[in-house]
Structure 1
Amino acid sequence: MLIQAGVRPALGCLLRLAYRPEIEGRQNVPRTGPVILAANHLSALDSFLIPLAAPRPVAFLAKAEYFRRPGVTGALSRAFFTGMNAIPVHRTDHRAAQASLEAAREVLAAGRAFGIHPEGSRSRDGRLYRGRTGVAWLALATGAPVVPVAVLGTDRILPVGARLPRFGRIAVRFGQPLRFTQPPDGNANRARRLVTEEIMTAIQRLSGQEQAAGHAELPVQ
């Protein structure tokens, strides 16, 4: 338990010493209550960087396998991901997408912060891809505000396929919270798409990325 409790403070200190990240808009993240942090996705580092830059703990989803490894390595892995408030999910299950959203809704129902990458996968070319509507489903189902987040520079620090991080400049920008309500006409599919597009537009304004017309290719499970 002591190791788990010290993970976030220790990594935050290491991050500041090694990279001196530029962090903007932390005051835009509500200090209490449920909130969704919706961010672009350039690197595997993003899901760790955002909780370290945010003013409160942020839960992201993580593969359940990270919590099941045997031996000392497994114990350290569990302590690390638990200390980072990661939520284990079974991504190979045929109902994985809905199960992930239900896990996220439980986090928000408990008044916590939940982080999500609406693109669904890392961008391989630096562009911002079209968002998937799970983030809108969460926002409309829970009423939680959505804070758009832009992460910059992580694709140079840890590119796709790299094993060890490099040195470089990184930045995290938190935008103004967005609030959404269920549409009066009951057209849920249209509402989710419109909400998702508004969130992605807010992320793009923070990141300055070129927008791609389609969705990012999802990783093979």
Structure 2
Amino acid sequence: MYGAMKFSIGGPLKLAFRPWVEGIEHIPAEGPAILASNHLSFSDSFFLPAVLDRKVTFIAKAEYFTTPGVKGRMTAAFFKGVGQLPVDRSGARGAGEAAIRSGIEVLERGELFGIYPEGTRSPDGRLYRGKPGGLARVALATGAPVIPVAMIDTEKIQPPGKVVPKLMRPGIRIGEPLDFRRYQGMEHDRFVLRAVTDEVMYEIMKLSGQEYVDIYATAAKRQIAEAAKAEREALKAEKAADRQAAKSVAAAPEPTERDASGS
């Protein structure tokens, strides 16, 4: 099913958008490897597999497989067809452990495992701090090389909330594999996990040219949402004050002729 889906989706995708690729030679012809990518758009999970000859498996939200309706069924069929694995993210800790187990299983089969170390899409096109729990633990548990990947301009093709993509050329830069086997057996050392993750994020930053922000993308999204809420509330309060001022003016008594003459 994967081959048929890649042919039916990957071919037209490459023909329509003509993505450019640098460093494709860094993808091994066989054997396990972890593709660690920045995450700018929902379409990242389409473009990267489309340009590779090998199957790459990403972890996908379980909602993509369970959404009702025609669109939901089509989305589920696509993700199943390209080999994506559903993970229930309703419980953060349980979801993380499930993703790690799934990644290890993919790599133990000698396949490519794709992961977004930021944990979620960038809210503003900048590169955010990588989460150490997934990428580093999978890498140290399996000894698989980590290949940094930079998606370029995909956020311009399909920004969050936009359904219809804009036709333009995205880019993909693939870096040299990183070997972390020297840390094997230390996947529960939080300092080692942080060091491994930061090294990968540094390589992604060099490939992408993005500005790096040393906070998690989830925290940035929360800050942006809170700022937008505060702005809406301030605007609402300003409009209410204007309405109250208008009512006060309307309710004020008309000046009499005596008042106007001042006598």
TM-score above 0.5, yes or no: yes
Shift of the 121–78 alpha-carbon distance from structure 1 to 2, 3 Å rule, reads closer
| Equivalent in the alignment of 1:200 | 201
Following superposition, the deviation at residue 72 of structure 1 comes to: 6.2
Shift of the 14–141 alpha-carbon distance from structure 1 to 2, 3 Å rule, reads same
Following superposition, the deviation at residue 149 of structure 1 comes to: 0.2
- The 8 Å contact of residues 122 and 128 in structure 2, kept in 1 or not, is answered as yes
- Show structure 2 runs of 5+ residues with no match: 223-263
When structure 1 is superposed on structure 2, of 119-128 and 67-76 the one drifting more is 67-76
| Equivalent in the alignment of 2:177 | 177
Return structure 1 stretches of 4+ with deviation > 6 angstroms.
none
User: For residues 109-131 of structure 1, what are the alpha-carbon distances to aligned partners after superposition, in whole Å with 9 as ceiling and x for unaligned?
Assistant: 11110100001111111111011
- The 8 Å contact of residues 22 and 170 in structure 1, kept in 2 or not, is answered as yes
Q: How does 1:64-143 map to 2 (within 5 A)?
A: 64-69=62-67, 76-94=74-92, 95-133=94-132, 134-143=134-143
- The 8 Å contact of residues 140 and 184 in structure 2, kept in 1 or not, is answered as no
- The 8 Å contact of residues 36 and 147 in structure 2, kept in 1 or not, is answered as yes
| Equivalent in the alignment of 2:226 | none
Higher fraction of helix: 2
How far apart in 2 are the matches of 1:185 and 1:107? 19
Match status 1:150 vs 2:186: no
| Equivalent in the alignment of 1:162 | 162
When structure 1 is superposed on structure 2, of 59-68 and 134-143 the one drifting more is 59-68
Following superposition, the deviation at residue 93 of structure 1 comes to: 3.2
> Which structure is higher in RCO with an 8 Å CA cutoff and minimum separation 6?
1
Shift of the 57–140 alpha-carbon distance from structure 1 to 2, 3 Å rule, reads same
Aligned letter for 1:162?
K
How far apart in 1 are the matches of 2:183 and 2:116? 24
How far apart in 2 are the matches of 1:65 and 1:210? 31
**Aligned to 1:149, what secondary structure does the other structure show?**
strand
Aligned letter for 1:139?
A
How far apart in 2 are the matches of 1:19 and 1:60? 21
Aligned letter for 1:127?
R
**Aligned to 1:161, what secondary structure does the other structure show?**
coil
Shift of the 42–184 alpha-carbon distance from structure 1 to 2, 3 Å rule, reads closer
TM-score of the pair, normalised by structure 1: 0.90
TM-score of the pair, normalised by structure 2: 0.77
Following superposition, the deviation at residue 69 of structure 1 comes to: 4.9
Query: Which residue, 9, 22, 25 being the options, matches 2:23?
Result: 25
- The 8 Å contact of residues 26 and 55 in structure 1, kept in 2 or not, is answered as no
- Show structure 1 runs of 5+ residues with no match: none
Aligned-CA RMSD value: 2.1
Larger Rg: 2
